[in-house]
Amino acid sequence: MLNVAYYSGTVDEFKTCPEGTLLGHLTAAHNFALEESQRDAWHQQICLLKHELADLYEGQIYFEFAIPRMGKRADVLLLLKGIVFVIEFKVGSASFDRAAKDQVHDYALDLKNFHAGSHDVPIVPILIATGAEALGLQPVSWALDQVAAPLLSSGQGLLHLIEHIAEGASTDTIVPGAWEASGYLPTPTIVEAAQALYQNHAVEEIARSDAGAQNLNATAEAIRNVIRQSRENRTKSICFVTGVPGSGKTLAGLNIATETARSDDLERAVFLSGNGPLVTVLREALARDQRDRTGGKKSDAEREVSSFVQNIHHFRDDALRSHQAPPEKIVIFDEAQRAWTKDQASKFMKTKRGESDFDMSEPEFLISVMDRHEDWCVIVCLVGGGQEINTGEAGLSEWITALQTSFQEWEIYLSNRLADADYRLLGDAAEIKTSPRAHWSEDLHLSVSMRSFRAESLSSFIGHVLDDDAEVASEVFDKIADRYPVVMTRDIDVARDWLRDKARGSERFGIIASSGANRLRPEGLNVRAKIDPANWFLNGPDDVRSAYYLEEVATEFDIQGLEVDWACVCWDADLRREDESWSSYAFKGTRWQNVNSPDRQLYLKNAYRVILTRARQGMVIFVPTGDERDQTRPPSFYNGIAAFLKECGVSEI
């Protein structure tokens, strides 16, 4: 890891190093304006540790140790007797608040999950509130992965506490140099990634660097090359990036947007998404983060952020009002497969915008807007396979058809996976495969899920479940079960308890269901009651509007492109087993009705594909038992679902 800590050395070296020299090391490594409060905090930490560790003659100590995934630094790390101690200070505090305990726990979990050298060693988080009363020895509560629950200390008797913990540890030692160099493989949430990129971190710093995920960097470089060639050759280009769910498509797009935002020239990029909840959550998260870091007004932060992440429909409406070329030379369209067909776009424009003569698909119109540039421009389309979830969503074919019929001067760069069935390259659009304008590249496909860092085969498992292949699904599940727990229950309260038991620190958990799951209401789950995405995804466990409360339900429309750590996925009778296959239903009025339209059947199956791939660490699937007295939810509707999930390898709790 680069710049692993502001200061590191043996405990002996630390104890003999003058305080002023130590402060000099920390100050020199600090790349930001140094506030007096930070210097005072370091001073007190150094003094306390020099005193408390005076009789310790072994171990390695680190100050301001980098936690790249979170874009933060832990105050102190101590390697001793085969244990990693993560020590976080709250200088002057007389209490141990929940947020502080979650913070140090998060650091420990981050090391366990993402730092290779820490995978197989015990990790003990310790929170020190220097103004608290002295505490005695505390029992250590170990989780199965050898991460202890946070211990609390005033700082007095710290060595006694550490030695007490180390008594029961193995005799294996940690070699500091090898431990540091073992590699850090972060997989940030999309919110964490956006915040880190916006703070000028490079995508290489916050993305995994193992061989299996190298293609994120390769994809970023491939997009840069398309932009570079288009600028140099004064050409107009469109680039299609594909990827499995959670592979980092949105991250790749945000990276390009932030890179150009930091550049000195005026050729900025804008990240556009028709996913309203994603735009809302990203904007709110970035604005809150900037306000907290700078101390400025949130309203100022919101204005700045709004130029970086925009709703695609606002971009479209601005282009309708003006026939000028947009200010951006580079636009990134997230979830481009969800752009509207000609019929859907025309209907909306005529009824909602009064544009009676609008006669284009949304892809054709968006390309035409960028085509207004006289010299060069680049469109980057981020395309998810099997992700169309609503009526009128065009898929990829509409983009290709528009390019073939109306924009024949544009260069087209495509992922070599676009011929796959998931991407629905249909009809005339399939002719692009032989076009001389088409430039195919494997670097434009992201094949490894980064969302589910414990289970890169999760999307494959879910695919086989939805494709009625229990045998293959079971084989895939066997490969992930020990790293990514998936269980089933027929009791929603059991599901809630499972989530609360699994989550640690600030790990977020929540309840998810399809928007058509209308007969979950007897279970206390109403999918028609809309969540506030910013509150659900960003607020803490003390806020009743947050996901943590397990009351409000997010649907596929709320959560597509976003994620939680642990999920309860509720499976209703809108997608049920009949004649050994999945059947689609919609609840209308007082009863279920068959869904016969192939497109609507696809949207429903894709809705379940979305909600079943939103959890980063594991999920519990809730299948109701039903009620013989209720004709809308007899047990027969649900028992087949539960039985099939068991065939796929999922055990019931």
* 361 and 468 fall within a common domain: no
Does 376 map to a domain? Answer: yes
Instruction: Determine the angle formed by the axes of helices 19-29 and 36-52, rounding to 10 degrees.
Output: 140
Nearest CA-CA partner of 614 in 547, 543, 541: 547
Q: Is the domain of 518 the same as that of 619?
A: yes
Give pLDDT, residue 595: 96
Q: Is residue 411 part of a domain?
A: yes
Please list the residues that pair with 489 across neighbouring strands. Answer: 622
Cα–Cα distance between 450 and 208 in angstroms, integer?
8
One domain for residues 173 and 232:
no
Q: DSSP E strands: which ranges in 514-578?
A: 553-554, 564-570, 575-578
In a domain? residue 451: no
**Domain shared by 136 and 14, yes or no:** yes
B/e letters for 90-113, b = 16+ CB within 10 Å, e = fewer, are bbebeebeeebbbbbbbbbbbbbb
- Distance CA(86)–CA(74), nearest Å, equals 7
CATH code at position 492: 3.40.50
Q: Is residue 342 part of a domain?
A: yes
185 inside domain: no
In this structure, what token pair is assigned to residue 136?
A: 């005695």
Question: Taking CA 497 as the corner, what is the angle to CA 492 and CA 498, rounded to the nearest 5 degrees?
Answer: 95
226 and 199 in a common domain: yes
Q: Of 117, 147, 180, which residue constitutes the final position of a domain?
A: 180
**Residue where one domain finishes, among candidates 122, 151, 180:** 180
Cα separation, 352 vs 344, whole angstroms? 12
* pLDDT tens, residue by residue, 95-146: 999 999 999 999 999 899 888 899 889 999 999 999 999 888 888 999 988 9
Hey, how many other C-beta atoms are within 10 angstroms of the C-beta on 352?
9
d(CA 72, CA 593): 52
Specify the pTM: 0.80
Q: In this structure, what CATH number is given to the domain that contains residue 203?
A: 3.40.50.300
State how far Cα 58 lies from the chain centre. 39
Claim to verify: residue 607 and residue 517 sit in the same structural domain: yes
- Residue 36 pLDDT: 85
Instruction: Write out the H or E segment, with its range, that includes residue 647.
Output: helix 635-647
**Structural domain of residue 41, as residue ranges?**
5-180
In the chain, which residues have pLDDT < 50?
Answer: 1-2, 209-212
Regarding whether 327 and 374 lie in a shared domain, the answer is yes
CA-nearest of 183, 185, 205 to 195 is 205
Do 174 and 68 share a structural domain?
A: yes
Domain count, the chain: 3
Question: Sheet of 575-578: strands edge to edge?
Answer: 575-578, 581-588, 591-594
Q: Is residue 536 part of a domain?
A: yes
The reply to whether 172 and 55 lie within a common domain is yes
Residue where one domain finishes, among candidates 417, 446, 475: 446
Cβ proximity of 333 and 379 under 8 Å: yes
pLDDT tens digits for range 202-214: 655 555 544 445 6
Q: Is residue 452 part of a domain?
A: no
Q: Do 273 and 415 fall within a single domain?
A: yes
**616 vs 388: CA distance, rounded Å:** 21
Same domain, 486 and 404: no
| 476 and 377 fall within a common domain | no
Q: Is residue 153 part of a domain?
A: yes
Q: At what angle do helices 598-611 and 458-466 cross, to 10 degrees?
A: 150
Q: What is the pLDDT of residues 520-574, one digit of tens each?
A: 999 999 999 999 999 999 999 999 999 999 999 999 999 988 899 999 999 999 9
